[in-house]
Amino acid sequence: MSVKTSPPPRARSQAVREHPSGDPRFNLIDRTLKRFSYQQDALIEVLHTAQETFGFLSDDLLIYVARQLKLPLSWVYGVATFYHFFTLKPQGKHTCIVCMGTACYVKRAAEIVAALQQAFHVEPGGTTADGLLSLSTARCLGSCGLAPVLVLDGEVLGRETPESTLERVRQLLLAEQSDAAPSANGDAMHVTNGGIHEPI
């Protein structure tokens, strides 16, 4: 019979204490590690937590996870690079995800990607040199009725055209330039879940 391990009662008080690394965000990873009793099988779950917490998987983070789960480094690196969800590079301040599912493709989503690529000199999966915009494509966001769909900083926008998208992104970046004070909103955080908010 399987016994599910619930987090130990001390977890909460420990979370308040400072992590040996000095970065309190590691506490969140430790919590996931504990939830899965440090089982090696939980690697993907732990990487999910690490990416949600830090925005991307740095080498330090991968080493930390590998040590905690007692796995070889190359194993962890291999898993982290196999799955599309994990990114090893820091993300731009704003993110634009264009859906390339079949319904969106049939309604010419590729033209939107090409327009963005050309206008902002950024490849899908890449970030502009100034670190302001990350462009990526997704495999069906499941809003096929609104095709073509894109997610701009977590907001789902439907029935877009190349022109309307360019205009939106330009506005966004323009506001960035005129507004010297950065609005640290943790944008990268909610885009990791496909940009779809939990309702209600």
Partner 1 sequence: MSVVTLTINDELVSAQEGQTLLSVLQERGIEVPTLCHLDGLSERGGCRLCMVEMEGSGRLQAACVTQVQEGMVVYTHSERLVKYRRMILELLFSERNHVCAVCVMNGNCELQWEAAQIGMDHVRYEYLNPDLPMDASHERFVIDHNRCILCTRCVRVCDEIEGAHVWDVMGRGVNSRVIVDLNQPWGTSQSCTSCGKCVQVCPTGALFSKGATVAEMEKQHNFLRWILDGREKKIWSYENGK
Partner 2 sequence: MNRSDLEALAQRELQRQQAFRCRILCCASTPCLSSGATAVYDAINAAIKEGELDAEVQAVSTGCMGPCSRGPMVTVQVKDEGEFIYEHVSPEVGRQLVAYHARSAAPPAEELPEPLRTRLLPSDMPFFAKQRKVVLSNSGLIDPERLEDYVARGGYAALAHALREMTPEEVCREIINSGLRGRGGAGYPTGLKWDMVRKARGDKKYVIANGDEGDPGAYMDRTLMESDPHRVLEGMAIAGYAVGADQGYIYVRGEYPIAAKRLERAIRTAERRGLLGSRILDSNFNFRIDVRIGAGAFVCGEETALMASIMGRRGQPTPRPPYPAQSGLWGKPTLINNVETFGNIAPIIQNGAEWFASIGTAKSKGTKIFALAGKVATTGLIEVPMGITLREIVYDIGGGIPNGLAFKAAQTGGPSGGCIPAQYLDTPVDYESLKALGSIMGSGGLIIMDEHSCMVDVAKFFMEFCMDESCGKCVPCRVGTVQMHRLLERITDGSATLQDLETLKELCVMVKETSLCGLGQSAPNPVLSTIQYFLDEYEAHIRERRCPAGVCTLEKTPVTEWVHA
- Cβ partners under 8 Å of residue 62, min gap 6: 73, 76, 77, 80
3 near partner 1 (CB under 8 A): no
Question: Buried b vs exposed e over 93-124: b needs ≥16 C-beta within 10 Å?
Answer: bbbbbbbbbebbeebebeebbebbeeebebeb
* 39-58 positions binding partner 1, by CB under 8 A: none
63 touches which of partner 2, partner 1, none (CB within 5 to 8 A by kind)?
A: partner 1
Measured from the Cβ of residue 41, the count of other Cβ atoms closer than 10 Å reads 9
> What are the φ and ψ backbone dihedral angles of 157, each rounded to 5 degrees?
-120, 130
* 145-174 positions binding partner 2, by CB under 8 A: 145-147, 149, 156, 158
Contact 69, 80 (CB under 8 A): no
Shorter beta-carbon distance to partner 1: residue 37 or 81: 81
Shorter beta-carbon distance to partner 2: residue 86 or 120: 86
- Cβ partners under 8 Å of residue 38, min gap 6: 68, 69, 70
**Least distance to partner 2, CB of residue 15, Å:** 21
**Least distance to partner 1, CB of residue 46, Å:** 16
Total residues at interface with partner 2 (CB under 8 A): 44
Contact 120, 85 (CB under 8 A): no
Shorter beta-carbon distance to partner 1: residue 26 or 86: 86
29 near partner 2 (CB under 8 A): no
Task: Choose, by CB under 8 A, the member of 5, 14, 25, 75 that binds partner 1.
Answer: 75
Contact 168, 152 (CB under 8 A): yes
Measured from the Cβ of residue 86, the count of other Cβ atoms closer than 10 Å reads 18
21 near partner 1 (CB under 8 A): no
Task: Choose, by CB under 8 A, the member of 103, 166, 172, 189 that binds partner 2.
Answer: 103
Task: Choose, by CB under 8 A, the member of 24, 78, 90, 131 that binds partner 2.
Answer: 78
> What are the φ and ψ backbone dihedral angles of 166, each rounded to 5 degrees?
-55, -40
**Least distance to partner 1, CB of residue 109, Å:** 22
Q: Catalog residues that contact partner 2 under the rule CB under 8 A.
A: 1-2, 4, 40-45, 47-48, 78-79, 82-86, 100-103, 105-106, 138-147, 149, 156, 158, 193-194, 196-200
